[in-house]
Chain A
């Protein structure tokens, strides 16, 4: 393994142990994507030969790719971890969906609100997330330990300086933290690590012929019959893959021939667009990620 990956790995493991030692009820959020897969793998290593002393939780918007849900079950079986799946039932009842409600409302209700509900329901005081600082400009200043008040809100001025590896983990009743153990990893680090450690990932990351339609300049996969087609529109089979995974109607595929990890790493090196470009939710408005964060988005 590259020396720098080993150091990133050690740093992430130390952060996870820290949270396990300092908080009474942590949870690891599992989004099924590549970053989550790496984070879960690191958690398995951090507490070896024991198991991670916290459950994993997926906030399911009900619009994930079918292959993601299948992969989720497979992983839970394989690692034998305790997996909580939370769905915002209220949102489901209200018929919230990414197509007619719009991406903002859907993400807010099914993801942000769903997450808050789940954190409150189980009383988690710390939640691990797989966000990285290189993903987006406003994340460059995000702390590894990100403090949220009792309403889960993030206040940029209320965040604490992080000196050395001495994290200030003290919180008051009702407050919680989000912890980002892979903050310092880049997208390329993630792929190189997946390759080096042979970490299983959802097959959607690899190029394959898939049925897609062109929407807002990006390829959207027709994963099930819920995606309404325009009159006369028919899905075409294209060799595509995904750089990030989310709700399928909001996640653009890229045309690619990268069918192996080697191919992906090579493609990464040549990549000329950032991974979030494929996400429709981020381009809604400028600095939109920061607004979502203030509202409690991960």
Chain B
């Protein structure tokens, strides 16, 4: 057994000098800065690389390596097949190593601007960031971007790894100049500690031990710093927050609220307040499989039992009664856009915050932030990898803290409602308005709630016109477009009603009135369900149409007159009905043997001889937009 290994085992058996905990850190830099080499070096030095991996590495070094005869440590950590061929990492890879004092999880992310989202992902769970600088190049634009993203994601501890110092003859003055440059820039970024270290990842200088090549550097080696740096104590000191994740109710005798403390601490006997309802009660037990605990702290996964039966569900936030989160439906936040599809203000997304999902709309884009200069710039939309400060409205109130104060209750993601892709990472800056009554009763579920969840105003679009006028074609086109932009619709026409609900009805005048009455009542129920209902019926009589208008609320009935002269309908006669009506085979046929009372003041008058179906459908959509029925902005496909 070699001496180093023997020492390692001895150390792991004895109580360690560090806290024995887990440190998660991110490495920021590009391949050229030696980032992968540094991680490979850390794995190698901590004996995390096994012989079979070394054999593969030696083989790979000859094939893909850039270091000549030496082992290329970077190849240890490059990932998926295709990426390895390209020689660039394009995702977040997680690496693991341990020393006797601590265990480490490294988020390895690429450094270029087009990978800002990957860096943000890695930084979101990091306690510390290693920002790499190539000593030959000094502080670059990319260095500033890395520092800014780390700061935005709330990483407070920074190691400034000034790498490739071997190529600059271990020059102290150069090192000091780079440190000064970075410190000047980072002064306003809110880092609590910045440790600059002169490094050579390739040769190992100052990685595990201080290097004789830099006698002027008297700080800690990188590993020693990582083993001993204080992080994460802030979470435990923040006020108690507990997003309820799962209601544990195995039998009638036990009801507990399972979750992980986002911040703070809780003792049995402490009071807690349910943020949304403002109701307060006591914690009677802190249950775990290892027995009840007297106290739990941030990051502990526990199950709380409360003294009183309050109405609490997944998504609720239990909090410190004396220091509660804001309960609000409007926030200002930083977002990092992660989707190829641009952010369009006005569009509805799903927001995931804590353990809760809630529909949310970006109501305004305050300004974009140039990641390279930190300058605020104007913008109307936000593309992949861009960062902005925005205002967001949520369909129901949420409990939040500023991200700066609490990562657990200030972080959220936005999810595209159609594709389910994660569209953005968000960080609450502040609440824009407090919910006026935190003791509010549970909302009754009504039409407004249902429609609000769908981000639309429920209406009936009533298409009236002669047989063959083009009602159904236009209505179907509109429905397709509405659905494509995430709206919730339903189409009622003769085809789906005559065969079922109205199969007992014929075409006598009485039956035709009954037909429309039933259509109207069904449409009204669908409006109550929050839907945009498209009804396509000849509906020749004014009083029938007025009846439907009368049974819904003002503004919920939109009469669309699809105006095609009867001669044109006869010419088109898509179903051959006019021909049969004229021979008398079909009696009471509107336009031939039965009157059509054209609407005098329709909400929309579509003349099919003057424009095609596409253009007419667009006119209806414009009307819906203008009347705020289906959101201000459509996502253009």
Contact = CB atoms under 8 A, between A and B. Distances in A.
A266 B250 contact: no
B398 interface: no
Contacts of B94: 133, 140-141, 183-184
Interface bracket on A: 35 or more
Contact of A274 (B22, B50, B299, B425): B50
B464 to A, nearest CB: 36
Interface string B91-103: 1111110100011
B397 to A, nearest CB: 19
Interface in B106-161: 108, 117-118, 120-121, 124-125
Nearest to B117: A161
A189 interface: yes
B559 to A, nearest CB: 36
Contacts of A161: 92, 117-118, 120-121, 338, 422, 425
B87 to A, nearest CB: 15
A167 B79 CA distance: 23
A10 B422 contact: no
Contact of A163 (B21, B91, B411): B411
Given A45-B289, A168-B420, A13 B301 contact: yes
Contacts of B118: 161
B300 interface: yes
B530 interface: no
Contacts of A21: 245-246, 314, 355
A17 B288 contact: no
Interface string A9-22: 11101100110110
A49 interface: yes
B415 A168 contact: yes
Nearest to B9: A269
A171 B421 CA distance: 9
Interface string B39-60: 0000000000011110000000
Given A49-B250, A168-B413, A266-B9, A17 B245 contact: yes
B352 A168 contact: yes
Contacts of B407: 164
Q: Which of the listed residues A13, A161, A183 has the most CB atoms from chain B within 10 Å of its own CB?
A: A161
Contacts of A163: 120-121, 124-125, 411, 413, 422, 425
Nearest to A266: B9
A139 B197 CA distance: 31
A290 interface: yes
Interface stretch (B252-260, B441-449, B466-474, B533-541): B252-260
Q: 8 nearest interchain CB pairs?
A: A50-B250, A48-B289, A45-B289, A10-B301, A140-B93, A3-B21, A4-B22, A4-B103
17 contacts: A3-B22, A4-B103, A14-B245, A14-B259, A141-B94, A160-B422, A161-B117, A164-B408, A165-B125, A166-B413, A167-B352, A168-B421, A170-B420, A184-B96, A184-B105, A287-B80, A290-B80
Given A47-B248, A163-B425, A168-B352, 18 more contacts: A2-B103, A14-B245, A21-B245, A48-B287, A49-B254, A133-B94, A140-B77, A140-B95, A160-B422, A161-B120, A163-B124, A163-B125, A164-B407, A167-B352, A170-B350, A184-B96, A186-B98, A269-B5
Interface of A: 2-4, 7-11, 13-14, 17-18, 20-21, 44-51, 133-134, 137-138, 140-141, 156, 160-168, 170-172, 183-184, 186, 188-189, 266, 269-274, 277, 287, 290
